[in-house]
Structure 1
Amino acid sequence: MFELSQNFYFDAAHTLDRAIETESSKRIHGHTYNAEVSVRGERDPETGMVLDLGELRKAVEVVRLELDHRFLDDVPDLGAPTLENLCKFIQNSVRRQGIELYRVAVWRERSGDRCTLLPS
């Protein structure tokens, strides 16, 4: 069994209504987000690949452009701009392009926050 991954990053701003750190969260602020998507499977005996990495990079570029330099509050189908919702949004975007992901992770290096989605 193999796992192939592709990393990317995007810069985006948002607000967030939450019960803690309310003042700073409600103001527009931004982050550099890092993300990683992974597929899992056996390699095709003819191609030697689980998935052509070019296809995965193409799917990643589509979702990156949906998020990069955006105000996340206004991104359709994202919901509240939480790490959890970003993971789900990335999974759904890549799925619409015909690729099922094994794992999606989104993190903010500077703050040490990370979320990982293991789709069922």
Structure 2
Amino acid sequence: MYRISKEFHFSASHQLVNMPAGHPCARLHGHNYVVRLELASEELDQYGFVVDYTALKAFKDYIDDAFDHRHLNEVLDSDLPTAELLARHLHDWAKARWPQVCAVAVSETPKTWARYQP
């Protein structure tokens, strides 16, 4: 199995409004997100790629247009726009375009990651 990944970055705010009173995530706050798109294939294409990295520009454009410097509660239409749910959303968007997509990981801080892999 061949595996590749590419990293993307954006900044956004969110608020987990259903958290208990006093929980820091219940307050409006922001993160500098890191997203890692992972793809895998047993076969390479005619150029020797799982997917040409340049083809993934559409994913960067989607993140830049839909998420960068936006409020995730509004973008995802959710009271709980967690990293886990964001990873699932981004996975589903990318999987519809590249069948080789196998997982998406989202980091809100340098020490935390959420990963969605069906």
With the shorter chain as reference, the TM-score category is 0.7 to 0.9
Aligned CA RMSD, in angstroms, stands at 2.0
Give 1:36's aligned residue: 36
Q: Which amino acid aligns with 1:116?
A: R
Under a length normalisation based on structure 1, what TM-score does the superposition of the two structures give?
A: 0.82
Give 1:8's aligned residue: 8
CA distance in 2 between counterparts of 1:77 and 1:2 reads: 35
1:12-91 mapped onto 2 (5 Å cutoff):
12-16=12-16, 17-19=18-20, 21-22=22-23, 24-41=24-41, 42-44=43-45, 46-76=46-76, 80-91=80-91
Identity %: 28
Q: How far is the alpha carbon of 1:60 from its aligned partner?
A: 3.0
Please give the secondary structure, in 2, of the residue aligned with 1:87.
Answer: helix
Runs of 4+ in structure 1 over 4 Å off: none
The total of aligned residue pairs comes to 115
Give unpaired runs (5+ residues) of structure 2: none
Q: How far is the alpha carbon of 1:2 from its aligned partner?
A: 1.0
Distance 1:77 1:91, change over 3 A: farther
CA distance in 2 between counterparts of 1:94 and 1:79 reads: 23
Please give the secondary structure, in 1, of the residue aligned with 2:105.
Answer: strand
